[in-house]
Amino acid sequence: MSGGLDFEGWTCPVPLRDTPTVVMGHGGGGAMSGELVEHLFLPAHGTAGNTVLGDSAVVDVGGARIAFSTDAYVVKPMVFPGGCLGDLAVNGTVNDLAMAGATPLYLSIAYILQEGTPLTEVRRIAAAAGAAARAAGVRLITGDTKVVDNGSGDGVFVTTSGVGLVAAGVEIGPHRATPGDAVLISGDLGVHGVAVLSVRAGLEFDTAVSSDTAPLNGLVAAVLATGADVHVLRDPTRGGVAASLNEIARTAGVGVSLEERRLPVPGGVADACSLLGLDPLEVANEGKLLAFVPRDDADRVLAAMRGHPLGAGARRIGVCVPEHPGMVVARTALGGTRVVNMPIGEQLPRIC
């Protein structure tokens, strides 16, 4: 897709009507996931036309500004280099709250267990969830457990939900992306996806990549403490940076221009992607954030990120532009440009 640009804007290449049943791509966090939400869930829920069912919502409850978020986790295998289902599920919901500028406070955790799963595995996952909650400074305060028969599940599925408090004056969301904003990333790309792939049956390869799963609320607090007018925060999970930036560009009606040579892709990730034909921009991250901040605030936000252990590799990767609204374009190392498309379906099933 390098070469000439198509500026006619993005339309879903796979209309929902062409897939009468659920396919893996509906869970990929890309265009097909968006289709399912936009054309099935929102109308069915009676909430079409809203921007609801995003990663989190901010609402008023009794005078408090509450962020509320939920995520289901079905990662396979349940244990992978650098983490497991338990800490992934806690960190993921902590991060969704943090990306709304909220201080994450309380989490719920619902387990769907498959009959026959060793209790030692269940315990390992639950212990990792507990440890992750303590590390993030949140409390697991309510939960549920259901069991499904053998053949109707796969080990353990976990759904976490969370509530957090949004301070007065904090207004962070994709709609605020503005031409001129610097686009920052807090560190290396594609690490989680490659770590999980590295232990998948039949796909093992020689790499030392460990998942980056981590709670980002501390890093966000450090960024907000600079006083910068942070416009957008987003953790590029399923669908990677490509999906997150495309969503932001479309929501705000702006363009995003990336410098490909500035993208921090570690060697292990680059090797794995090369071997498997993946684009590192589409691979899931679980401990990184994208930030859109006014150009004049970029240096102090970068300095704040680099002063935090989870942001040591922070760098500027691009800029928000008025051209090609709704599209993400990368300037390649060779000086050309290419469109960074919204991923369509599921290149890495059950990555989180």
Find out whether 73 and 160 touch, Cβ atoms under 8 Å. Answer: yes
Q: Which of 64, 208, 275, 303 binds a copy of itself (CB under 8 A)?
A: 64
Q: Is 15 in the site for a copy of itself (CB under 8 A)?
A: no
As measured in angstroms, the least distance from the Cβ of 18 to a copy of itself is 11
| 112 versus 293: smaller Cβ distance to a copy of itself | 112
Q: Which stretch binds a copy of itself (CB under 8 A): 13-21, 188-196, 226-234, 303-311?
A: 13-21
Find out whether 147 and 178 touch, Cβ atoms under 8 Å. Answer: no
Find out whether 9 and 327 touch, Cβ atoms under 8 Å. Answer: yes
Q: Which of 116, 227, 322, 336 binds a copy of itself (CB under 8 A)?
A: 116
Regarding beta strands 102-114 and 139-148, do their DSSP bridges make them parallel or antiparallel, or are they unpaired? parallel
For residue 10, the one-letter residue type is W
CA distance 326 to 133: 36
Q: Which of 10, 14, 38, 106 binds a copy of itself (CB under 8 A)?
A: 106
As measured in angstroms, the least distance from the Cβ of 53 to a copy of itself is 4
| 138 versus 320: smaller Cβ distance to a copy of itself | 138
Q: Is 61 in the site for a copy of itself (CB under 8 A)?
A: yes
Q: Is 217 in the site for a copy of itself (CB under 8 A)?
A: no
For the record, the structure tokens of 159 come out as 């759904």
Q: Is 71 in the site for a copy of itself (CB under 8 A)?
A: yes
| 93 versus 207: smaller Cβ distance to a copy of itself | 93
By CB under 8 A, the count of residues binding a copy of itself is 89
Q: Is 113 in the site for a copy of itself (CB under 8 A)?
A: yes
Find out whether 73 and 263 touch, Cβ atoms under 8 Å. Answer: no
Per-residue x/- track, 329-348, a copy of itself (CB under 8 A): -----------------x--
Q: Is 202 in the site for a copy of itself (CB under 8 A)?
A: no
For residue 44, the one-letter residue type is A
Residues whose CB falls within 8 Å of the CB of residue 95, separated by 6 or more in sequence, listed in order: 215, 216, 217, 235, 286, 287, 289
CA distances (Å), origin 126, targets 4, 80, 97, 121, 347 = 50, 15, 21, 9, 28
Q: Is 200 in the site for a copy of itself (CB under 8 A)?
A: no
- Exposure string of 249-276, with b = 16+ CB inside 10 Å and e = fewer, is bbbbebbbbbbbeebbbbebbebbbeee
CA distance 17 to 15: 5
For the record, the structure tokens of 116 come out as 């026959």
As measured in angstroms, the least distance from the Cβ of 146 to a copy of itself is 5
Q: Is 110 in the site for a copy of itself (CB under 8 A)?
A: yes
CA distance 189 to 281: 7
As measured in angstroms, the least distance from the Cβ of 238 to a copy of itself is 9
Per-residue x/- track, 131-170, a copy of itself (CB under 8 A): x-xx----xxxxxxxxxxx-xxxx--x-x-x-x-x-----
Of residues 241-280, which lie at the interface with a copy of itself (CB under 8 A)?
Answer: none
As measured in angstroms, the least distance from the Cβ of 75 to a copy of itself is 9
As measured in angstroms, the least distance from the Cβ of 331 to a copy of itself is 34
Q: Which of 5, 12, 14, 72 binds a copy of itself (CB under 8 A)?
A: 72
* Rounded CA Rg of the chain: 19
